[in-house]
Amino acid sequence: SLSGKTAVITGSNSGIGLGIAHEMARAGASVIINSFSDREEDHAIAAEITANHGVEARYIKADMSKPDECRALIEQAGACDILINNAGIQHVAPIDEFPAEKWDAIIAINLSSAFHTTAAALPMMRKAGWGRVVNIASAHGLTASPFKSAYIAAKHGIVGLTKTTALETAREPITANAICPGYVLTPLVEAQIPDTMEKYNMGRDEVVEKVMLERQPSKEFATVEQMGGTAVFLCSDAAAQITGTTISVDGGWTAL
Ligand code: NAD
């Protein structure tokens, strides 16, 4: 059980981050929900987690594109035994047309934020005598596709940061690993299905199998619950010697 541990999950008001927050809470951890939006719904998520799982849950606003807010998130959390670096955005364009400000934003949110939160969290983990860093990379942290230069550079970067974090903590009861999801059915992905059906004049099943899951041999989406379960496993005693590596949850994508 993760009771007594506090998990800080960046970008956790939707999708994979929210799924991980639920699984962490189910395993008994206190959770910190984060996004940059600070809406009533965001605070309601924390209240719902407390109601459902009987753990402490709190929402903290912090913009992961800003180094000082990344560090402030960890400080305001007060404890950070488990750090899940999940916040991320995407932009799709060829390199010669890729807006420079999009490149900067993606590198800041998908990569640099994890450096800043990790830097702030490691002293707390050392003081507590235990810690887990789980970075949400991607199949695109291990392979590439055209038109996603910034995302792929950031995701490969976070795999590198994960390895360095693991080496710097190797003699301590702290581990650092990356989860590399393939295509996960989040509300964001679900919302793309109707448009894609229209664009290709295909039914839902055909769009999912032939367009969206083209590179995912299982032809099934991974789920946010599976991401949460994998993160909980990485926090278990069984995973104490798993450090500096990646776990693909991608239906065989990276085996191709
Ligand atoms: P999502 O859009 O549902 O979630 C992204 C989260 O990041 C949201 O909670 C959002 O509030 C937060 N966020 C964005 N910008 C932020 C900022 N500046 N400050 C703080 N929070 C911010 O998408 P998702 O699919 O759940 O993605 C979560 C992570 O998983 C991302 O790192 C993404 O790259 C990765 N991932 C997703 C998939 C997939 O198929 N969905 C596949 C591989 C990797």
Tens digit of pLDDT for each residue in 46-76?
999 999 999 999 999 999 999 999 999 999 9
Does the C-beta of 251 come closer than 6 Å to ligand 1?
no
Same-domain status, 14 and 28? yes
Instruction: Say whether the ipTM exceeds 0.95.
Output: yes
User: In this predicted model, what pLDDT tens digit does every residue of 210-239 receive, in sequence order?
Assistant: 999 999 999 999 999 999 999 999 999 999
> Residues 136-189: pLDDT tens digits?
999 999 999 999 999 999 999 999 999 999 999 999 999 999 999 999 999 888
98 and 179 share one domain: yes
Tell me, in angstroms, the distance from the centre of ligand 1 to residue 89's CA.
6
Distance CA 132, CA 122 (A): 9
Same domain, 200 and 118: no
Rounded mean pLDDT, 86-110: 97
Supply the pLDDT for residue 241.
98
Range of the domain at 195: 185-221
Task: Assess whether 17 and 131 both reside in one domain.
Answer: yes
Ligand 1 centroid to residue 171 C-alpha, Å: 31
Domain membership of residue 210 (yes or no) is yes
Residues 97, 61 share a domain:
yes
Does residue 144 belong to any structural domain of this protein?
Answer: yes
* 137 CA distance to ligand 1 middle (Å): 10
Q: Is the CB of 86 under 6 A from ligand 1?
A: yes
Residues 97 and 198 in one domain: no
Give a yes or no: residue 256 inside a domain.
Answer: no
Task: Please work out whether the CB of residue 21 comes within 6 Å of at least one atom of ligand 1.
Answer: no
Place of tokens 């990485």: 234
pLDDT at 192: 85
96 with 192, same domain: the answer is no
Residue 255 lies in a domain: no
One-character DSSP codes across 111-166? IIHHHHHHHHHHHHHHHHT-EEEEEE--GGGTS--TT-HHHHHHHHHHHHHHHHHH
Number of domains composing the chain: 2
